[in-house]
Amino acid sequence: MEVIEFHLDPSSGVATYLQLVQQVHQALQLGLLEPGDRLPTAAQVVASLAINPNTVLKAYRDLEREGLVRARPGLGTFVVGQLPRTDPAAQEKFRRSMSTWLRSAREAGLAIEEIEAIYRTAVRNCLTEGVA
Amino acid sequence: MTAALEASRLGKRYGGKWALSDCSLSIPTGRVVGLVGPNGAGKSTLLHLAVGLLAPSAGTISVLGARPGSGPEALARVGFLAQDSPTYDRLTVAAHLQMGRWLNPAWDDEFASSRISELELDVRQRAGTLSGGQRAQLALTLAVAKRPELLLLDEPVASLDPLARREFLSTLMEIVASRQVSVVLSSHLIADLERVCDYLVLLVSGRVAVSGDVDSLLASHRRLSGPRRDPSTMPGNLMVIEASHAVRQSTIVVRTDGPIIDPAWTVTPLTLDDLVLAYMRQARDGAGAPVSRLAMAP
């Protein structure tokens, strides 16, 4: 039984390898993955998601470069680093400022669709900046 | 390094009609190549040329450094799965394996047997009574067990239901992960291949519309939308693939190596699907006056 299982959102517009990287980040932040845990092998990910093995290897290389995992030949890829757990207080702070922002957008007469479009564009721009 | 498939000005004519023309390509080994294009674009013709079932009418093609079908050695290095995964309806699964064993010097019996048991196929069953998905898996098993260095699959998932399609592609990717094999698979739907291929060749009307590493292609194409603008006034480092105009707005798909600095544009990345569609429309509409050349004008 693996510690985590990857899934994909084809409509997200986020590259597949990046989705895998982000899911590992998230699992580390939530404490679902801890140092010593083994990530699913490339063959396991490939079999469950029907994706190219190079995509998985690329994601694992990225994580290795970040110092979060280490590949041990013949044994698998293991978590060696940790990401700071998201601080609940910080989450609450941003949730509150987001609500304020949303309320002011509604008061300015923006429809939900417009607000969602603004949010999606901003997230995408933010992500592409991160990649470039 | 020897290319998996190299074509230079390759063409194939049936009677007076060119099914493939002026096709130049160099596909590296170790890749999973999606050969994509509408029906009748020349995908099957290219694959048949690559396996040596057809001879070129023009130009040259080499596969793993050899002329396709030039001898037993060249044949042994290439596995081919024709459209609709043909099997012999009246032969049992066991007979298919026996035939594979007799006909292929490098036959991997251990792989074939373990695949068949993983698929939970009854070896006494005739191929004609298997489901479409099972038949496709049997044909794939036979093609892989001959230990090819290059696997050519013509529309392998077109006739499968979504579950069988997913299972077939999973199996194929497990094979890629565990064996040294390059793969070229064709489909008229990019959505079938998007997850699995890392290299794209798009054929439209017998010609190569675009080809290259999927990640590099995605990184070098952007959709720009902004105030209406004549695409011929775009900076020269942006190659215009497709432009459409509304009364006040222009949407332009460009290929570029650098960032887009003009603040008038809203810049969004393309999905592989968008990219393929843009090139397909360019090939269809831009035949007379290539839009890309307009963009290069001062």
Residue B164 CB contacts under 8 Å (≥ 6 apart), including other chains: B131, B132, B133, B136, B157
Axis crossing angle, helix B93-103 with helix B132-145, rounded to the nearest 10: 20
CA distance B70 to A12: 46
Cβ A124–B218 below 8 Å, yes or no? no
Q: Is the pLDDT of residue B140 over 90?
A: yes
B197 and A CB contact within 8 Å: yes
The pLDDT assigned to B293 comes to 39
A8 and B CB contact within 8 Å: yes
From chain A, the residues in CB contact with B266 under 8 A are 121
Q: Is the pLDDT of residue B237 over 90?
A: no
Radius of gyration of chain B (CA): 22
Would you say the ipTM is above 0.85? no
- The residues pairing with B186 across neighbouring beta strands, listed in sequence order, are B35
The pLDDT assigned to B194 comes to 84
pLDDT confidence bin for B255, thresholds 50/70/90: very high
The pLDDT assigned to A45 comes to 93
pLDDT confidence bin for A130, thresholds 50/70/90: low
CA distance B251 to B223: 7
B114 and A CB contact within 8 Å: no
Beta strand B199-204 pairing with B32-36? parallel
Give residue limits of the domains in chain B.
Answer: 5-205, 216-296
Cβ A53–B218 below 8 Å, yes or no? no
Q: For testing the chain B interface, which of A52, A56, A77, A129 should be mutated: the one with the most B CBs within 10 Å?
A: A52
The pLDDT assigned to B297 comes to 36
The pLDDT assigned to B88 comes to 95
Residue pair B35/B184 in contact (Cβ under 8 Å)? The answer is: yes
Query: What digits encode the pLDDT tens for the residues B167-213?
Result: 999 999 999 988 889 999 999 888 878 889 999 999 998 999 999 99
A14 and B CB contact within 8 Å: no
Cβ B177–A16 below 8 Å, yes or no? no
Query: What digits encode the pLDDT tens for the residues B71-99?
Result: 888 999 999 999 988 899 999 999 999 99
* CATH superfamily assigned to domain B5-205: P-loop containing nucleotide triphosphate hydrolases (3.40.50.300)
Q: Is the pLDDT of residue A100 over 90?
A: yes
Q: What percent of chain A has pLDDT over 70?
A: 94
Residues A15-24: what's their mean pLDDT?
92
B268 and A CB contact within 8 Å: yes
Q: Is the pLDDT of residue B294 over 60?
A: no
Cβ B195–A16 below 8 Å, yes or no? yes
CA distance B189 to B38: 8
From chain A, the residues in CB contact with B196 under 8 A are 50-52
**Three-state SS sequence of chain B:** CCCCEEEEEEEEEECCEEEEEEEEEEECCCCEEEEECCCCCCHHHHHHHHHCCCCCCEEEEEECCECCCCCHHHHHCEEEECCCCCCCCCCEHHHHHHHHHHHCCCCCHHHHHHHHHHCCCCCCCEHHHCCHHHHHHHHHHHHHHCCCCEEEECCCCCCCCHHHHHHHHHHHHHHHHHCCCEEEEEECCHHHHCCCCCEEEEEECCEEEEEEEHHHHHHHEEEEEEECCCHHHCCCCCEEEEEEECCCEEEEEEECCCCCCCCCCEEEECCHHHHHHHHHHHHHHCCCCCHHHHHHCC
pLDDT confidence bin for B286, thresholds 50/70/90: low
pLDDT confidence bin for B117, thresholds 50/70/90: very high
Closest CB to A50 among B169, B178, B268:
B169
Residues B263-267: what's their mean pLDDT?
85
From chain A, the residues in CB contact with B218 under 8 A are 15
From chain B, the residues in CB contact with A51 under 8 A are 173, 195-196
